[in-house]
């Protein structure tokens, strides 16, 4: 992928993430104030089909945004070889995507009933 | 006066709020990227049953963990608001030759700390 496309993808993913982060912070504050337990958490996240959609989108976009940002930092601030950095952040993107979707599945449908 | 004769303090290019915001945006981003996989692993405990997730949530009641979460909320806020500033600087028309929207930096720090304090207030 060209540098210009990565640059654009980083900005576009940021635009999608900004409102998602704001909603997530509100959820964090609400959830911690109302008492954190597995029952309360799972009751909330399984209450609507919108939560899997919301957090699924969150994970996919974060798995795009974070590795591109890390790539920039590693390329500019470390002497690591560029191809090595590219490979490492590609693996990181896949790990983030897999763990993130697994987490969404765990709390919105795949968890113990 | 030519540029060559202009006396500039050492590291003048880094001695301003925009550079501090640049560093803050980057470091908060790296910290969040490191945190994310662990966050996902913790939520994934729900696959092992409610008891496993409750066990982790009980551990997370530790004041040190709560303090760490307070820091993470602030880092998330800083990354969000400094990122919004970057988008504004890069994508919106400039109002002058040096329109770096520095005002958003102060507001961003204040709002991020406010979010952190609201979180902390709810858990102590």
At CB < 8 Å, which residues of chain B contact A? 26, 29-30, 32-33, 36-37, 39-51, 53-54, 57, 60-61, 73, 76-77, 80, 83-84, 86-87, 90-91, 115, 118-119, 122-123
Residue A31 lies in a domain: no
* pLDDT at position B1: 45
User: Chain A residues with CB inside 8 Å of B46's CB?
Assistant: 38, 41-42, 106-107, 110-112
Which of A62, A94, A89, A66 lies closest to A78 in space, CA to CA? A89
Neighbours of A24 (CB within 10 A): 16
Contact A64, A94 (CB under 8 A): no
Query: DSSP for A33-101?
Result: HT---HHHHHHHHTS-THHHHHHHHHHHHHHHHHHHHHHHHHHHHS---HHHHHHHHHHHHHHHHHHHH
**Domain ranges within chain B, ordered by starting residue:** 16-95+103-123
The lowest-confidence range among A45-49, A89-93, A95-99, A104-108 is: A45-49
User: Chain B residues with CB inside 8 Å of A11's CB?
Assistant: 87, 90-91
Question: CA A95, CA A63: separation in Å to the nearest integer?
Answer: 9
Question: CA B66, CA B58: separation in Å to the nearest integer?
Answer: 11
Residue B25 CB burial class (10 angstroms; 0-12, 13-18, ≥19)? buried
Fold of the domain spanning B16-95+103-123: 3 helical TM bundles of succinate and fumarate reductases (1.20.1300)
Contact A66, A72 (CB under 8 A): no
CATH of the domain at A63: 1.20.1300
What value does the mean pLDDT take over residues A72-85? 96
**% of residues, chain A, pLDDT over 90:** 75
- CB contacts < 8 A, A to B, total 104
**Measured at the alpha carbon of residue A60, what is the angle toward residues A103 and A53, in degrees to the nearest 5?**
70
Sign of dihedral through CA atoms A23, A29, A30, A35? positive
**% of residues, chain B, pLDDT over 70:** 90
Residue A85 lies in a domain: yes
Residue A37 lies in a domain: no
pLDDT over 80 at B7, yes or no: no
**pTM of the predicted model, to two decimals?**
0.89
| Domain total in chain A | 1
B58, B92, B99 from B103: Cα distances, Å: 41, 15, 10
- Residue A64 domain boundaries: 3-24+49-110
Tens digits of per-residue pLDDT, B35-70?
Answer: 999 999 999 998 888 889 899 999 988 999 999 999
Q: Which of A29, A41, A100 sits opposite B119 (nearest CB)?
A: A29
Q: Which of A25, A37, A73 sits opposite B30 (nearest CB)?
A: A73
Predicted confidence band of residue A112 (pLDDT cuts 50, 70, 90): low
Residue A29 lies in a domain: no
User: Chain A residues with CB inside 8 Å of B43's CB?
Assistant: 103-104, 106-107
User: Chain A residues with CB inside 8 Å of B68's CB?
Assistant: none
Question: CA A80, CA A77: separation in Å to the nearest integer?
Answer: 9
Chain A nearest-CA residue for B111: A22
């Amino acid at each position: 992928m060209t540098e210009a496309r990565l640059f654009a993808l980083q900005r576009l993913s940021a635009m999608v993430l900004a409102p998602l982060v704001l909603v997530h912070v509100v959820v964090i504050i609400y959830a911690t104030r109302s008492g954190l337990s597995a029952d309360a958490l799972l009751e909330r996240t399984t209450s609507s089909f919108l939560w899997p959609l919301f957090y699924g989108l969150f994970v996919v976009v974060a798995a795009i945004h974070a590795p591109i940002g890390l790539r920039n930092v590693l390329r500019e601030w470390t002497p690591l070889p560029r191809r090595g950095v590219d490979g490492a952040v590609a693996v990181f993107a896949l790990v983030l995507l897999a763990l993130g979707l697994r987490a969404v599945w765990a709390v919105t449908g795949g968890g113990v009933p | 006066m030519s540029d060559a004769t202009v006396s500039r303090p050492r590291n003048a290019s880094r001695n301003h709020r925009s550079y501090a915001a640049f560093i803050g945006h980057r470091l908060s981003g790296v910290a969040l990227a490191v945190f994310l996989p662990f966050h996902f692993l913790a939520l994934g405990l729900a696959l092992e049953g409610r008891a496993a997730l409750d066990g982790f949530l009980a551990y997370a009641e530790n004041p040190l963990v709560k303090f760490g979460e307070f820091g993470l909320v602030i880092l998330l806020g800083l990354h969000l608001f400094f990122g919004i500033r970057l988008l504004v600087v890069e994508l919106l028309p400039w109002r002058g030759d040096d329109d770096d929207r520095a005002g958003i930096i102060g507001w961003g720090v204040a709002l991020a700390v406010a979010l952190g304090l609201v979180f902390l207030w709810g858990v102590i």
